[in-house]
Amino acid sequence: MTSPVHGSAGSHAAGTRTDDATATSSPRTGAPVLEVEDLRVEFRSRGPVVNAVNGVSYAIAPGETMAILGESGCGKSVSAQAIMGILDVPPAHITGAIRFEGRDMLQMGAEDQRKIRGPGVSMIFQDALSALNPVYSVGDQIGEMFRAHRGTSKKEAKDRAVELMDRVRIPAARQRVDDYPHQFSGGMRQRVMIAMALALDPKVLIADEPTTALDVTVQAQVMDLLKDLQRDTGMGLILITHDLGVVNEVADRVAVMYAGKVVETGTIDDVFTRPAHPYTRGLMSSIPVLDGKGQRLNPIVGAPPSLARIPPGCSFHPRCPMARRGDGGRPDCTSDVPPLREVAAGRRAACHYSEELLHG
């Protein structure tokens, strides 16, 4: 794996959608293992309602890697937390559908959900030091998965913890199983988190910024580890990140989010080389390239909107160089909400003028 700071793009399989409320189909054969359909998350308190997720839909198949891209605050992590059932309800209000192997988890009781989250869908959190409990050894925390879900003895759970630590390539696992999180480096703590997430052999793994705060070499090691584990287990992988280089190395498909919505989907090759949404084009233009010495970056002007005050029409229009008021029957970016629609084979974008980007 190369450094995540580069500008090349790979070639991968494609996926399509039929409409905004239908999850993106998978390029892999067989039924999707996880489908998210029209997912919406609002946070309701005494202040304005925060519309954190506004109709997100996608699907993931066994063995597939899908990346969810976007700036901080676009709703990437909140959508994952809704899938994992770790948002406090209230103040969160969740609607839509989250189907695991065809069963909607949002329509299940808490106990049925618990049986799926862990063995079926698991998650790696972005800050391992905060996610791990500082007063329990890493062996106890990994082994808790087996004691809670499989009813194993403490000794057996510890043995399984050692096996998992070996599996994620933590050196001297037997000697370190009783160590505490602060005794591990950042990269090793992230491996502990991966071991916990993989303890029950999930069919889908959600990795939320798994390389945050790690140096480039350790980032490469962690991502290579995830790819190897995915190949060995056949699990689907949802990679949440804003690191375009990491996405380019590992993903099959990408969903780009802005202001709580998916604004573009497609293969890595298509999205990176021929963006169909101005926001995606802005992200691609912001990538430093290795042979671009002396060249100026072209960042997106402005800042993402507050999710409590999302602009009318296209939420990106205040920052968009292509935004138009509309005339002669053409859509008005400031008032007409663009649907996520098919703009080319295997491509969907939520822009009134995507065809101009693709063919202009």
What are the tens digits of pLDDT across the range 31-67? 889 999 999 999 998 888 999 999 999 999 999 999 9
What is the four-CA torsion angle of 284, 286, 288, 292, rounded to 10 degrees?
A: 90
The rounded Cα 231 to chain-centroid distance in angstroms is 19
**242 belongs to a structural domain:** no
**Rounded distance between C-alpha atoms, residue 94 and residue 44, angstroms:** 11
What are the tens digits of pLDDT across the range 57-108? 999 999 999 999 988 888 899 999 999 988 988 899 999 999 999 899 999 8
For the segment 171-186, the average pLDDT, to the nearest whole number, is 92
pLDDT band per the 50, 70, 90 thresholds, residue 291: low
Neighbours of 218 (CB within 10 A): 17
Percent above pLDDT 70 for the chain: 89
Whether the pLDDT of residue 10 is over 60: the answer is: no
Kind of pairing, strands 65-69 and 236-241?
parallel
pLDDT band per the 50, 70, 90 thresholds, residue 30: low
What's the pLDDT at 169? Answer: 87
For the segment 275-297, the average pLDDT, to the nearest whole number, is 79
Number of folded domains that form the chain? 1
Whether the pLDDT of residue 21 is over 50: the answer is: no
**194 belongs to a structural domain:** yes
Residues 210 and 222: beta-carbon distance below 8 Å: yes
pLDDT band per the 50, 70, 90 thresholds, residue 175: very high
Instruction: Report residue 14 as tokens.
Output: 């494609």
Residues 22 and 262: beta-carbon distance below 8 Å: no
What are the tens digits of pLDDT across the range 227-243? 888 888 889 999 998 87
**322 belongs to a structural domain:** no
**255 belongs to a structural domain:** no
Neighbours of 266 (CB within 10 A): 29
What's the pLDDT at 233? Answer: 85
Neighbours of 305 (CB within 10 A): 17
What's the pLDDT at 313? Answer: 93
**Rounded distance between C-alpha atoms, residue 328 and residue 60, angstroms:** 41
Describe the crossing of helices 138-150 and 186-198 by its angle, rounded to 10 degrees: 10
Whether the pLDDT of residue 3 is over 70: the answer is: no
The whole domain housing 188 covers 128-199
Residues 82 and 52: beta-carbon distance below 8 Å: no
Whether the pLDDT of residue 215 is over 90: the answer is: no
Whether the pLDDT of residue 4 is over 60: the answer is: no
Q: Which of 107, 99, 198, 108 is nearest to 146 (CA)?
A: 198
Tokens 């309800």 correspond to 89
What is the four-CA torsion angle of 144, 131, 68, 39, rounded to 10 degrees?
A: 70
**193 belongs to a structural domain:** yes
**180 belongs to a structural domain:** yes
